[in-house]
Amino acid sequence: MVKNILITGGAGYIGSHISEILVKKKKNIFIVDNLSTGYRKLINKKAKFFKVDILNIKKVKNIIIQYKIDSIIHLAANLIIGEGEKYPKKYYRNNVRGTKNLLLACQNTNIKNFIFSSTAAIYKDGQFMVSENSKIKPKSVYGKTKIKSEKAIQSFCKKNKINYGILRYFNIAGSSPSGKIGLLNKSDHLFKNFSREIMKKKPKLKIYGSNYNTRDGSCIRDFVHVSDIAEIHLMILEKINKLKISKIINCGYNRGVSVLDVAKEFKKQSSKKVEIIYTKRRKNDLVKIIASNTRLIKFIKWKPKFDNLGKIVKSCISWEKKLI
């Protein structure tokens, strides 16, 4: 059984949801986060928190040794696509060097399992439905930093006999049914932008690009509820630990939802006069991408609990209402 888990980036959006689930399962949680995009108020009260940067090998290693950490869930990263294009050096340093330093901190410790949050942004555009064996060719700097990190993890873990789980998330959205945590930062996140807009008197939901080669002209994504993603972490961690194996796994519903579908759902759930407007395409946006999730379902016999666009939108709106 895994017991002492270190979560890097545990003060962030996904990390706080993972912490909530792990705490419920009575795991001992330790969080390393530099709070660059995370928040103290998202940190689970039962977790032990260290305001530490993952680049700091010595401090991270001390925590791993002192608290007898057996597993790491590594989420700490910069992830805004546009920002990565503007500041590639910052992204390579934080995401790739950060991951490599974290791995170095694991050397000669009791770490047995390493889970990494990768992304669908590593896949070559135009493949529509991607399996773990689909062509890899990230368009963005962000995607490039993630595939480099994946490679570093695979090679380090093989050498050091650590089981790894590389989880390629598709697009994460929603907030916890507990109502205590959700997305706070102002990153360019579709559901966040729509949630904030829908709180205004005259909401205008902005869609980037109207003439993509898709069924309604807007981009298509596989949006996954954050609580489903959080649960996947625990299940995969227990499984790789038990079987002593490593896996790369797509995490999505195998369902394509268009950005226009999302806008329409927000409009449907609002009592205001909502306008849907189009602006020009964003650089480096993939046209359409959904997850083939056969491996995920087979490996952990996964049954998602929040696989419904209406539920995801509802949870975003109720979280946003709490923030006003």
Residues that bind ligand NAD (CB under 6 A): 8-9, 11-15, 32-38, 53-55, 75-77, 79, 94, 98, 117, 119, 169, 171-172, 185
Nearer to ligand NAD by Cβ, of 9 and 304: the residue is 9
Query: Minimum distance from CB of 35 to ligand NAD (Å)?
Result: 5
Nearer to ligand NAD by Cβ, of 77 and 274: the residue is 77
CA 30 to chain centre: 19
Query: Minimum distance from CB of 90 to ligand NAD (Å)?
Result: 10
Query: Minimum distance from CB of 271 to ligand NAD (Å)?
Result: 28
Query: Minimum distance from CB of 202 to ligand NAD (Å)?
Result: 28
- Marked catalytic residue, from 13, 142, 169, 253: 142
Instruction: Verify whether residue 142 is a known catalytic residue.
Output: yes
Query: Minimum distance from CB of 76 to ligand NAD (Å)?
Result: 3
Residues 6+ apart with CB under 8 A from 245: 163
Residue 220's DSSP bridge partners are 258, 288
Catalytic residues: 142
